[in-house]
Structure 1
């Protein structure tokens, strides 16, 4: 797995990089060499936030955590990613069409959780620009808002980010 480690507002030491790559190597058994892991360390007040994103064959696994030491966060995140992969084992085997999981979980009887839709809602999608959609989202007190972009006539979603900014989701053409 190709690993990229980036530090924002914090330097990345060689020992941290080596330790992180060693921890992520535990997940190599699930992926070919095409997999790419991106590790980002950000300094926030007295905590270090670590985000790990693994991209492979159109799949995306992501986890983030904040701790006093980045190494603590990496330990926790590798466990979280391992559980994500194990939880989605059956779906992944179908998608990857390989025996990536053969022998790894032989003894375990994994029960796939049923995904339940507990609420469905239909509403009119009004044409508006991005700024108006953000205003609507804020007035409703929601974390996201779906709308028809009047510039592209496509369905878009604006969302509130943790850093106080906003994001925009647009479909690929």
Structure 2
């Protein structure tokens, strides 16, 4: 059973909003047979241009489910984000079920009824690249990424000697992912 952490930015989370979010996100529990102490983090934001953004993150032992949606209506944003998470779960379940059929491993997800949509959504790797990571700082990595016209760039952090990734966010700013 999920625990819920519902918080709002620029909005007071009323009991009605909290109950609606928990009810909708709670529908995702039916997809899992074993969910040990999973916490669903629901972040609600309202912007000055009258749009509502809903972000949901559910860290599970084998996968982190995360989705965000923005629309003029807060309740519609909650519905859209739950739909997006359901698609992610179905895709994950199909992948796990194929793997378990091949390897006979017990999956943490309930068996899926495979539909034609699931088969069409299968991820096919159509190209593989090998690269040598050049030591650099994050600013140089962003410059390299922009020169290549990519939305992300993998590099070796010159300070930590660890692998890092810079990426372009939807808001046009940049993000940095550092590995341990």
Same fold flag (TM > 0.5): yes
Shift of 1:101: 1.6
Report the count of equivalent residues. Answer: 167
The Cα shift of 1:132 comes to 1.2
- The DSSP-based 3-state class of the residue aligned with 1:88 is helix
| Unaligned ranges ≥5, structure 1 | none
Q: Does 1:109 align with 2:110?
A: no
Q: Distance in 2 between matches of 1:109 and 1:146?
A: 35
The alpha-carbon deviation at position 146 of structure 1 amounts to 1.2
CA RMSD of aligned residues (A): 2.3
Say if 1:109 and 1:128 are closer, same or farther in 2 by CA, change over 3 A: closer
Q: Confirm or deny: 8 A CA contact 1:29 1:100 kept in the other structure.
A: no
Unaligned stretches of 5+ residues in structure 2: none
Q: What residue in structure 2 maps to residue 3 of structure 1?
A: 4
SS in 1 for 2:79: helix
Task: Tell whether 2:30 aligns with 1:22.
Answer: no
Q: What's the TM-score, normalizing by structure 1?
A: 0.82
Q: How does 1:158-169 map to 2 (within 5 A)?
A: 158-169=166-177
Contact in 2 for aligned 1:157/1:168 (Cα 8 Å): yes
Separation in 2, partners of 1:134, 1:59: 28
Aligned with 2:56 (options 52, 71, 88): 52
Partner of 1:41: 44
SS in 1 for 2:41: strand
Does structure 1 conserve the Cα–Cα contact (< 8 Å) formed by 2:91 and 2:122? no
